[in-house]
Amino acid sequence: MQHRSALSPVRRILAAISGAALLTLSAPILANPQDGTNFPSLTMSSLAEPGLAVDDALTVQEIRLGPQLPGTIDLTVHSTNLWERIRNGFAMADLNDDLVLYYQQWYQNRPDALRRMVERSRPYLHYIVDELEARGMPTELALLPMVESSFNPNAYSPAHAAGLWQFIPSTGKRFNLEQNWWHDERRDIVSSTGAALDYLQAIYEMHGDWHLALASYNWGEGAVKRAIDKNESRGLPTDYPNLTMPNETRHYVPKLQALKNILGNPALIARLGLPMIPNEPYFATLETRRPMDVKTAARLANITEEEFQRLNPSHNRPVIKATTPIVIPADKLDAFRNNLQNTQAPLTQWQAYTLTAPERLDRIAANFDTTAGELARVNGLSERVRLGAGSTLLVPGSGSTASLNNLLNTSAPQQIIEPEPSTRCSKVGKGKHAVKKCSKSESRLAGRKSNKASEKTSAKDSGAHGKPSKSAARASGNSKSKTSAAKPAKGGSTKAAKSSHSKRR
């Protein structure tokens, strides 16, 4: 019997490798006897260890290749889960630092608030994702209103920023968001989303970096440009983590990254109990040919007035102008059209009323069977105001077409605020024959003086940029208060939605 080496197969393999054996593919094809599959045969070159017999070389083994995993995501497959669609569109570079970790833990430790915020995003999120994909923008930006407003369309900040995307008035005008007595498009879901994405695209093209674009959205593109120039002059990096910026802007992108980390993780979404949002349109828009009350529109759509206002938060008055786009749930569109076609009742219960003489609001309210508080709310006035002749108000009525249409064709009604009349008394005559006479006159001069005095007091208590002076801060007990940018706004609270914004948008 021929002698074979006592080396184990493993040792023979190691010995062969140490002998610089090379594994090569040769031309002959070996057939697999089991399924007929052909595989390239493997031959050995210098596989034998010196001192070993030729048949001690490695035995040829057939190796089957593992299955190839897809390297891309098939975006043509329709997902029923909007979170999955958003994850597939993530395209921004990830930010990893202590602030991201802090905010991720902060959100995860408040699952109830996070769930409320996600639930509030339900009517708007699909539309925003559609718009982002149509522009080829990263879908992480769909989460930005969570940082800006907690998805509260009526959020209003101390810097006068309004809506989901928190536009200040000047930037709103810059991006053609109409702001007048009737409505404020900064709160309009469709208009403000288009303006926000236009702005983000413009500042991304300016910087070529999404983190810097987001910093510009929060702080202002001019401020970010100056910070970049400052670093360049000092030979320092000019990316987001290395710029000197206010605390609010420093914390801004980490908040978005933390939300991206949470909502981009299916296991974490399940563990936190966050609601699934269907990947389908929530609302549709249409225009009507006639003016219509907010209450009437909600009734025709078979939804509550509260739900209608969540989708149409831009209306300042109870009457919607003709040809104004109305947003209603997509599944209520047919019902709305049918009800509108079949209704015989007037579409509005308001009319315009013009004063012929000065009158207080409570007296006007009594004439129209309403309250001064309701008239003040509808017309954006103080409850104790006294209006002059020629002032026009919205009052309850039969929806008189002529007077209402004239009012609707103006950007704002004329409302003249009259000062309260003051009584002046003086003595006429001398001694026992002196007579006290009183007359009423309007205290315009006194009113002006009091306004100037209040302006001086306000200026005295404020710094050069509108910030409270130290004395004013001590008087209010807020001299040691921390900036609100240190923590994200709590979901579900109106107070939290009023975030403090630096000079931007």
Taking only the tens place, the pLDDT of each residue in 159-194 is: 999 999 999 999 999 999 999 999 999 999 999 999
Mean pLDDT over each residue of the chain, to the nearest integer: 80
Q: Identify the band that residue 465 occupies on the pLDDT scale cut at 50, 70 and 90.
A: very low
69-78, 237-246, 247-256, 416-425: segment of lowest average pLDDT: 69-78
Asked if 148 is an active-site residue, the reply is yes
Q: Identify the band that residue 489 occupies on the pLDDT scale cut at 50, 70 and 90.
A: very low
Residue 284 has which token pair?
Answer: 């549709």
Q: Please say if the pLDDT value at position 53 is more than 70.
A: no
Query: What residue spans of 1-110 are helical by DSSP H?
Result: 9-18, 82-88, 98-108
The CATH 1.10.530 domain(s) of the chain lie at 82-272
CATH of domain 82-272: 1.10.530
Q: Identify the band that residue 422 occupies on the pLDDT scale cut at 50, 70 and 90.
A: low
What fold does the segment set 283-342 form as a domain?
Membrane-bound Lytic Murein Transglycosylase D; Chain A (3.10.350)
Q: Please say if the pLDDT value at position 82 is more than 80.
A: yes
The CATH 3.10.350 domain(s) of the chain lie at 283-342
DSSP-assigned beta bridge partners for residue 42: 25
Sign of the CA dihedral 4, 8, 13, 19?
Answer: negative
Give, as one character, the DSSP assignment of residue 34: T
How far is residue 238's CA from residue 433's CA, in Å, rounded to a whole number? 87
How far is residue 505's CA from residue 502's CA, in Å, rounded to a whole number? 9
Q: Please say if the pLDDT value at position 450 is more than 70.
A: no
Q: Please say if the pLDDT value at position 491 is more than 60.
A: no
DSSP string, 338-397: HHHHH--S-S--EEEEE-SS-EEHHHHHHHTTS-HHHHHHHHT--TT-EEPTT-EEEEES
The highest-confidence range among 63-77, 375-389, 409-423, 433-447, by mean pLDDT, is 375-389
pLDDT, residue 438, reads 66
Report which of residues 353 and 37 the model is more confident about: 353
| Residue tagged active-site, from 49, 140, 148, 185 | 148
Residue 94 has which token pair?
Answer: 């990830």
Phi, psi values for residue 480, rounded to 5° = -110, 15
Residue 21 has which token pair?
Answer: 């054996």
> By three-state DSSP, how is residue 319 classified?
strand
Taking only the tens place, the pLDDT of each residue in 22-39 is: 444 444 444 444 444 444
54-68, 240-254, 366-380: segment of lowest average pLDDT: 54-68
Residues whose CB is less than 8 angstroms from the CB of residue 431 and which lie 6 or more positions away in sequence, other chains included: none
Give 133's Cβ-side CA count (13 Å radius): 14
pTM score of the predicted model: 0.72
Q: Please say if the pLDDT value at position 73 is more than 70.
A: no
